[in-house]
């Protein structure tokens, strides 16, 4: 066996064992969020930390680092479609980041953000930012330091180095340009909708519907989308998410409101979108880059496409409405498909990101992006954050924040150390619109299929254009390859206008 | 810091980390048995094997072995109530066993028994022992070899060395004597019951009762017994069990039959008995011997006490019957407490161990004990096993085995390599009767309390007499300490006679 083969086998073994340990930790976290006994949290944290630590060791030991560096030099000229070469390239990239941070720093961040989330939770309940301010300052300072270490030897700013963990290769220049060209037309569109002559009957979705029935509807829709229940589960939790515990074990979680069908239904479609992406990755490469997701932006594009481009389309409601009435909920007998479609597209500036509609949602993200960028580069201090937040909400969304809990304290992310994460949500929205435009262009009768409850063509298209590549292409390369264009905000703007203008009669 | 302190801290750290990894694996197995997606089994097996392997490493590395040997010599004269000394003694005992088996042998056994269980399952479904015979021969041969390695340097036989894994210090001589003195009076009692003038109305429990209602009853009874739901859960599975995932995370699992309340109810009480034992161990010593169960016989004594001495008592049904009618199941309106009590004590020789009653159950165990002892010492060959099995069932229980699936293929244990495990079930029954006799003697108005749904005195008594000692005493020492007698079969025989003779009018 050649030396290169020995080296390659070793790094794959280590990376796969790290994944084995990470997915075991992920299973423990899934359990923690679906019904672990209340008193069991402390020991569970120890179990998870132990497993994550062992995983980190496997991806940083000196033999692993040496082999990877040698292989990376050797294979650097290879074609990116050569999967072993792509594997080495991605793992080498990860190693560059991982090596810049000491174990001590990672432990410090881990401890600080566990306390940070507890502290945030209490402050939010007390509705008082000042209770959380000191902890957030510590987190921001540590993340500044981490960012400045990670940027060493690159052309990134500290903030870009932080984003890179979630969306590799993203630059502030590009994001600024994307978000700027998105923001202006969105603000204008939202304003016109607020002055529109027609309004949807939003209370159509606000009728009592037993959770048992909502579960059946969610499971039915997830199955139709293509989520494979032989290789996954759908459960309930307070903050919906999707997690992958093995090549044939994807768990999606939603939450139901007994008086609001749309909440649980769109939540399920969103998470099922993440789920079908995970289920579409190459199982034989599980635990290695060709079998891993490309970026959080790409991941979010898949969830958003099923939630929005599909779930909030006229053809989807043309299919679901009679199914709803006939199979699940005679409560909906009085409502027409078009009325439900309109209600699913209610646009209204509001205070809370997770409840925001498709158009205003991105304004929430852009505000967070601008503020966290300033926090990291030092232009904004933590004690000025609430007023900066409130000013921007007034200015961008026209709403008054009167309580911290409904303002700067609403999201868990910063308390968990997730700074640089928010932009991936809007990147995902942009990508989903651009991908969907291509799919519409390339596939025949797509919406006619939707109106019959058939989503297979779209799923197959995403499998072929996105899923099968795993992490062997960057986000930008994937978008270019699938849509023959670089990423822009045009498609999301056109899509929203094309849908909302006729609906609202503007 | 003294050298001994450094050594002691190291062995504790290693042992606790091994427990952290084992409990993570246990959590993955709990998930596997409560709803893991069907296709996820292969990867799950890899995850569990990886974690168990890492745990094994922590308890056999050379530094651990050296430190433990030195500490064991140093502390050998210490009082057993000195918890660090007891810790060293127990871990040293484990090490002696663990070191005798090579990793290769353990891997071989693991692979063989994973296949063995699949093979057994298929053979049972096909109702054909010959399909399983070859695999069982391999397992028996390997377990013989393991037994002969483990007995080296001891006075044990190979079979005793195997039992020792489940019930430390048990000897065949003692078990033979216990089982012999149990068997004769049991056979005689069962015969008299079969000829008795009165029979219970067993169909009292055979009425349709929604599983939702049965769940509520089970949860209510488990709570009354003292199972702490802040530190545990009750779930459903096909083969009920109890598993501990952390010091404050004990999971019990039962199964419900929509047409048989007693099945799920007694199953829950059994597992809740295991659960309150686990919850009564010293949490601050979790992962070390003072915070671990003493033996499987002691564990089973706790489950059997709640299932049988409590759950099948007249006073228990005096309490539960009106609760049942009033709170949960008006279906039971026609039944009296005494009728249900009698039905809960139906005695009838049968083919299937897990469905057997309190009296005949032990005959099932004694048959298995005799046969597996002969399998290991070579007096019985695997191909003679079915006829030996059938002969003994005819002779001891008076029933004809007409199908392998209802005979020699009914239990999973041997296919999983669990040879030497069965005796712990009857040991548990003997201990439960002996402990309960002492509790009745020492506690005032115990049964009057039961008849009001108050079980606190008994729980506290077991906490004080059994649970708090963990593994710092052996099973024999615990029994002696709690009951002021060595273990005998007298108490179980007296208890059964005292209950069953008046019920059956014999």
Structure tokens at B341: 């009590």
Residue A295 in contact with residue A167, Cβ under 8 Å?
Answer: yes
Smallest CA–CA separation between B219 and chain A, in Å? 14
* C-alpha separations of B317 from A222, B204, B341, B360 in Å: 47, 13, 6, 22
**Residue A401 scores a pLDDT above 90:** yes
A51: chain B residues, CB-CB within 8 Å: 24
B351-410: per-residue pLDDT in tens?
999 889 999 999 999 999 999 999 999 999 999 999 999 999 999 999 999 999 999 999
- Tens of pLDDT, residue by residue over A344-398, are 999 999 999 988 999 999 999 999 999 999 999 999 999 999 999 999 999 999 9
b vs e for A226-262, b when ≥16 Cβ sit within 10 Å of the residue's Cβ?
A: bbbeebbbbbbbeebebbbbbbbbbbbbbebeeebbb
For chain B, which domains are there? 3-149 (no CATH), 202-351+424-504 (1.10.1370.30)
Task: Tell me the residue length of chain A.
Answer: 506
* Mean pLDDT within B469-474: 96
Asked whether residue B1 carries a pLDDT value surpassing 70, the answer given is: no
ipTM of the complex: 0.92
* pLDDT tens profile A164-221: 999 999 999 999 999 999 999 999 999 999 999 999 999 999 889 999 999 999 999 9
Distance from CA of A106 to the nearest CA of B (A): 20
pLDDT value of position B390 = 98
Residues in A closer than 8 angstroms to B245, CB to CB, are 40
How confident is the model over B236-278, as pLDDT tens digits? 988 889 999 999 999 999 999 999 999 999 999 999 999 999 9
Separation in Å, CA of A20 to nearest CA in chain B: 6
Answer for the pair B256, B306: CB distance below 8 angstroms, yes or no.
no
Whether residues A39 and B229 touch (CB distance < 8 A) is answered with no
Taking CA–CA distances from A284, the nearest residue in chain B reads B43
**Cα nearest neighbour of A43 on chain B:** B246
Q: Residue by residue, what is the 3-state secondary structure of B272-340?
A: HHHHHHHHHCCHHHCCCHHHCCCCHHHHHHHHHHHHHHHCCCHHHHHHHHHHHHHHHCHHHCCCCHHHH
**Minimal Cβ distance to B37: which of A36, A54, A231:** A231
A476: pLDDT strictly greater than 70: yes
Local structure of B154: helix, strand or coil: coil
Chain center to CA of A237:
17
Q: What is the mean pLDDT of residues A97-114?
A: 83
Per-residue DSSP letter, B394: I
Chain B neighbors of A286, CB-CB under 8 A: 43
User: Residue B39 and residue A229: Cβ atoms within 8 Å?
Assistant: no
Q: Give pLDDT, residue A53.
A: 87
Measured CA to CA, the distance from residue B245 to residue A148 in angstroms comes to 40
Rounded alpha-carbon distances, angstroms, from residue A106 to A110, A111, A146, B17: 6, 9, 9, 20
- Which chain B residues have a beta carbon less than 8 Å from that of A46? 20
Q: Mark yes or no for CB contact B39/A249 under 8 Å.
A: yes
For residue A405, the model assigns a pLDDT of 94
Distance between B35 CA and the closest CA of chain A, angstroms: 8
Q: What's the rounded mean pLDDT across residues B120-137? A: 94
Name, in order, each residue with C-beta under 8 angstroms of A389's C-beta and a sequence gap of 6 or more: A367, A371, A401, A407, A408
B271 labelled catalytic: yes
Give the distance, in angstroms, between the CA of residue A387 and the centroid of all CA atoms in the same chain.
27
Choosing from A29, A160, A271, A307, which is the catalytic residue? A271
Contact criterion met (CB < 8 Å) for B47 and A249:
no
**The tokens 């096993």 sit on which residue?**
B385
Q: What are phi and psi of A82, to 5 degrees?
A: -80, 110
Look at residue B286 in the predicted model and tell me its pLDDT. 98
pLDDT for A1: 64
Q: With a cut of 90, say whether residue A470 has pLDDT above it.
A: yes
Q: Mutation test of the interface with chain B: which of A47, A223, A291, choosing the one with the most B Cβ atoms within 10 A?
A: A47
CB hemisphere CA count around A348 (13 angstroms): 14
Min mean pLDDT across A384-398, A480-494, B77-91, B437-451 is at B77-91
Of chain B, the percentage scoring pLDDT greater than 90 comes to 86
CB nearest to A233's CB, from B37, B231, B246? B37
Tell me if A47 and B37 make a contact (CB, 8 A cut-off).
Answer: no
pLDDT at B331 over 90: no
């Amino acid at each position: 066996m050649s030396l290169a083969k020995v080296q390659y086998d070793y790094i794959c073994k280590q990376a796969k064992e790290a994944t084995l340990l990470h997915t075991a930790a992920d299973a423990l976290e899934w359990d923690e969020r679906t019904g672990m006994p209340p008193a069991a949290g402390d020991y569970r944290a120890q179990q998870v930390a132990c497993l994550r630590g062992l995983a980190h060791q496997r991806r940083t030991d000196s033999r692993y680092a040496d082999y990877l560096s040698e292989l990376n030099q050797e294979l650097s000229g290879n074609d990116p479609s050569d999967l072993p070469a792509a594997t080495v390239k991605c793992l080498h990239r990860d190693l560059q980041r991982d090596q810049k941070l000491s174990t001590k720093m990672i432990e410090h961040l881990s401890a600080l953000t566990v306390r940070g989330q507890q502290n945030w939770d209490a402050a939010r309940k007390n509705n008082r930012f000042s209770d959380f301010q000191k902890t957030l300052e510590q987190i921001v300072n540590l993340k500044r330091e981490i960012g400045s270490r990670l940027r060493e030897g690159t052309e990134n700013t500290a903030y870009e180095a932080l984003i890179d963990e979630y969306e590799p290769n993203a630059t502030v220049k590009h994001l600024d340009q994307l978000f700027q060209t998105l923001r202006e037309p969105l603000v204008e569109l939202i304003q016109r909708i607020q002055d529109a002559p027609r309004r949807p009957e939003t209370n159509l979705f606000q009728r009592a519907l037993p959770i048992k029935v909502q579960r059946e509807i969610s499971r039915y829709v997830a199955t139709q989308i293509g989520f494979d229940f032989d290789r996954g589960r759908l459960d309930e939790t307070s903050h919906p998410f999707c997690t992958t515990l093995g090549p044939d074990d994807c768990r999606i979680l939603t939450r139901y409101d007994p008086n609001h069908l749309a909440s649980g239904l769109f939540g399920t479609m969103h998470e099922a979108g993440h789920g079908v992406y995970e289920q579409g990755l190459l199982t034989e490469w599980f635990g290695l880059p060709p079998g891993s997701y490309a970026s959080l932006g790409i991941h979010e594009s898949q969830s958003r496409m099923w939630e929005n481009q599909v779930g909030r389309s006229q053809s989807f409601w043309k299919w679901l409405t009679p199914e709803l009435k006939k199979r699940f909920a005679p409560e909906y007998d009085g409502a027409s498909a078009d009325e439900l479609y309109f209600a699913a597209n209610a646009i209204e500036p509001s205070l809370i990101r997770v409840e925001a509609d498709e158009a205003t949602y991105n304004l929430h993200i852009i505000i967070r992006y601008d503020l966290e960028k300033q926090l990291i580069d030092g232009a904004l201090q933590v004690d000025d954050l609430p007023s900066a937040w409130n000013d921007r909400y007034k200015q961008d969304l026209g709403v008054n924040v009167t309580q911290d809990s409904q303002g700067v304290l609403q999201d868990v992310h910063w308390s968990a150390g997730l700074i640089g994460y928010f932009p991936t949500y809007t990147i995902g929205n942009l990508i989903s619109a651009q991908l969907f435009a291509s799919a519409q262009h390339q596939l025949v009768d797509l919406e006619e299929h939707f109106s019959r409850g058939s989503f297979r063509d779209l799923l197959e298209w995403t499998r072929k254009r996105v899923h099968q590549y795993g992490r062997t292409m960057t986000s930008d390369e994937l978008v270019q390859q699938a849509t023959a264009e670089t990423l822009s905000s045009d498609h999301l703007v056109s899509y929203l206008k094309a849908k909302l203008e006729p609906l609202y009669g503007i």
